[in-house]
Structures are given as structure tokens and as C-alpha cells.
Amino acid sequence: MKFIFRLLLSFSAIGTSIFAQNPPPPPKPQVFLDCMFCDGEFIRTEIRFVDYVTDRTISDVHALITTETNGSGGDTYTIELIGQKRFESQKQVLKFSTSGTDTQDQVRKKLVQHLKAALIPFVSDTPAFANLQISYTPPAIDVNKPQVSVVDKWNLWNFRLGTNANIQAESSYKSADYGGRFSAARTSNTWKTSVSLNLSQNRNEYSYINSNNRDTTLVNINDNWSLNTSAIRSLARQTSGRISASVFGSTYNNILRNFRISPGLEYSFTPYEESTRRAFKLQWNPNIQFVAYDEITLFDKTKETLFQNQLSAILSQQQPWGSASLTLTGSHYLHDSKFWQLSLMGNVEWRITKGLSFSVGGSFASINDQISLPKNDPSSEDILTRFKQQKTNFRYWTFMGLSYRFGALTNNIVNSRFDEGGGFYISY
């Protein structure tokens, strides 16, 4: 009897040890795709040698993809693959650039091409590698044609010209927005130069029956225009200088014309090469303004010369746990220190734990520098339609969100049936 009891205990211990073992890793690496602007369905369709999961904490690879605008009007992508679990010691970083003339399809194909290449080291140690094929198509070369170096006839300059119109109407309300813009920019390792022209008009028409029982139509027109130019130069590895000039007008702000000249200095506490992941910068932007007003101001001015001082602190982070940004800006006019403004703007997206994420953001400004306000009191129509700037000592907006995702954590299926679409869109 004792022998049988010991035998049962032995089988029980063996069974317990077998079931207590960790399950074998999945044949494909499990990837968490962390990219808010990517075409996720296209990526899952084109890259099938990995499995995609919806939670970072269970993934083998955290694919963090960020972008920065480049000198050609496109974006420079940084693909950072952070190994976790069985790939904890591995990390891959790959960069590529797009042009401002690339279509959305061209951009997403380039992204897939580079993401595939970056994933190869993670797949090479898994059973999925046995079914993976790597191909290369050599470029066609005419051996009889002499090879010449590529010459940039634009000398790194990039231009953009555009216009837009937005019209909507109801029985008692009509609205139309018109705009045009032109920009030219040149980016090199040491200089960043830009010129831009923007024109816009907003027209609102309200129809109603007034207190005298008469049909009344109220029309408000807001015109805005600006011409801006700036030249930024690298002064040291983490220091930059800028000189900018602009002239603009705004019906809403009672500005007939404001010509502004502003030198600037920036110091980055983090290397500029790491700006897609983290940045902490201080900016100093003093300026001189030559202002002419549409209407006489509260201070009996039709035109004046102003000196303003401005200082900003900018902090941003893009990390596996989420992202955060914070900007603190203070400014004041030198002719009278009582005219000042202080603003704080930021947002945080935090992945608290498996499936649970929290986001919060907003801005707040303490305002005491509205020196362009018209002397005459605004009409009730101006107040209701916000046709002109109103006196205020603060301005804020905020948002907050909490989401929890649960259920199937791995699903590579793409099914686009009855996707919410509609409308008409043409892109060149």
C-alpha cells in the first residue's frame, strides 16, 4: 500500500512539473505597433511574418514610430524597435525620409519596406524565418551611358502653393472661408530658411426676424493676412540663432498692419538628433513692432512702436509608456510692465497598465496685454458672433479621457467591409 501511495505521489509531482512549465513562445514575434498616423491595416496586410498585439506589455517587440518635418516638405521617419521578453537585449533603429510630393500610398509603402527590414533580426531566431523570403531587385543600369552626379537645380529650396474654399449654408445661416498660401523653405545642416504668405477671409451671414418683426440680415467679414520670413542658423551643437521678420493684419484683432522684427536664441539641453524621442529647450524671442490699428484703441492709439520680450520653455517626451509635452511661455511689453501674458500648454498620454490608458491636456493663459482692443464698446452682434476680439483676462481649454481595452489581444485579420467612408477626395 505504501508503495502504491509513493508511486501516485511521484506521478503527481511529474504532472505538476510538466504543467508548471512556461508555454513555448509563439512561432512569430508579437509586435505592438505604436504609431498614431500610420495606416495600421495596410501594415498588417503587407507584413504577415509577425503577429500584432493590442497591448504593449505582452508584446515581444515595441515598434515606436515617430516623424519630423524635413527640408523637402516631407517627413523623416524614425522606426525604433524595442525588444521585450525573449528579445529584451535587442534594439533596432532605422530612419528614412519622404518628399513633400510623395503620395500617401508612396509614403506607406516606404514605411512598410523599412519596417520589414528593421524586423528581420527579431524574426531570424523564430520558426517564422523558415518561411521568410528576402528579395532584391537591382536597378537597371545602362553600361554604355556615363554615370553623372546628381545636381540639385533648386539648391535645396522647396516651394508650395495652395488655395482652399469651404462653404456651408442653412436657411438662416451661411458661412464661407477662402484662403491662399505660398511657402518657400530651404534646409541644410547649418541653415533653415523660410518665407510664407497666407491670405484668408471668413464671411458669416445670419438671417433673422428682429424685434420690429422685420427680416434682418447680419453680415460679418474677417480678413487675415501675413507675410513671414525667418533664417535659423546652428551656432553650436545644442545652440541655434534666428532672425525673423513678419507683417500681418487681422480684422478680428483690430490690426491694420503689424510689422515685426525678432531676433531669437535657442538652447537645447538634449541633442537635436534625439528630438523625435525627447527634447528640452529654452527660447528667447525679443521683438520690435510697428503697429497701425483699424480703429482707435482703448489707449487712444492709432499707431505705435512696441518692444516686447518673450521667453519659452519647451519639454517633450515620446517613450514606450506614452508621450508628454509641455510649453510655458511668458511675454511682456517693455514700455509698461503691467502689460504681460503667461501661458501653459501641454498634454500627456499614459499607458497605465495592460489595456488601460489615460490622456489629459489643455492650455491656460493669464492675459493682461490686449492693447489693440478698440475704444468703442462692441455691439451685441459683435459679442454674439465673436466678430471682434473681446476683453478677457484669461483663456483656457482642456480635455481628458480614460479608455480600457480588453478581449482578444492578438488578431492579424484585416476586414474592410462597410468601413466608415464616403465623401469625395482627390490628392495630388
CATH of the domain at 59: 2.60.40
In this predicted structure, what is the pLDDT of residue 136?
Answer: 76
Query: Taking the CB of residue 31, how many other CB atoms lie within 10 A of it?
Result: 22
Is residue 111 included in any domain, yes or no?
yes
Instruction: Enumerate residue ranges in the chain where pLDDT < 70.
Output: 1-23, 140-150, 409-416, 418-428
In the chain, the number of structural domains is 1
Q: How many CA atoms lie within 13 A of 122 on its CB side?
A: 33
Is residue 369 included in any domain, yes or no?
no
Is residue 54 included in any domain, yes or no?
yes
Would you say 39 and 59 are in contact if contact means Cβ atoms under 8 Å apart?
A: no
In this predicted structure, what is the pLDDT of residue 428?
Answer: 41
Q: What is the 3-state secondary structure (H, E, C) of 70-113?
A: CCCCCEEEEEEEEECHHHCCCEEEEEEECCCCCCHHHHHHHHHH
For β-strands 278-284 and 287-293, DSSP reports them as unpaired
Q: How far apart are CA 60 and CA 45, in angstroms?
A: 20
Query: Taking the CB of residue 306, how many other CB atoms lie within 10 A of it?
Result: 19
What is the H or E stretch that residue 18 is in?
helix 2-20
In this predicted structure, what is the pLDDT of residue 151?
Answer: 74
Amino acid at 112: V
Is residue 235 included in any domain, yes or no?
no
Q: Helix, strand or coil for residue 299?
A: coil
Is residue 124 included in any domain, yes or no?
yes
Nearest to 159 by CA among 185, 181, 180, 179: 185
Would you say 160 and 178 are in contact if contact means Cβ atoms under 8 Å apart?
A: no
Is residue 167 included in any domain, yes or no?
no
Which domain, by its residues, includes 93?
Answer: 26-130
Is residue 3 included in any domain, yes or no?
no
In this predicted structure, what is the pLDDT of residue 424?
Answer: 46
Is residue 372 included in any domain, yes or no?
no
Q: How far apart are CA 414 and CA 410, in angstroms?
A: 12
| Centroid of chain to Cα 184 | 21
Distances (CA, A) of 321 to 2, 52, 55, 406: 57, 18, 11, 18
In this predicted structure, what is the pLDDT of residue 11?
Answer: 47
In this predicted structure, what is the pLDDT of residue 19?
Answer: 46
- Angle (CA) 360-365-370 rounded to 5° is 155
What is the reported pTM?
0.72
In this predicted structure, what is the pLDDT of residue 126?
Answer: 86
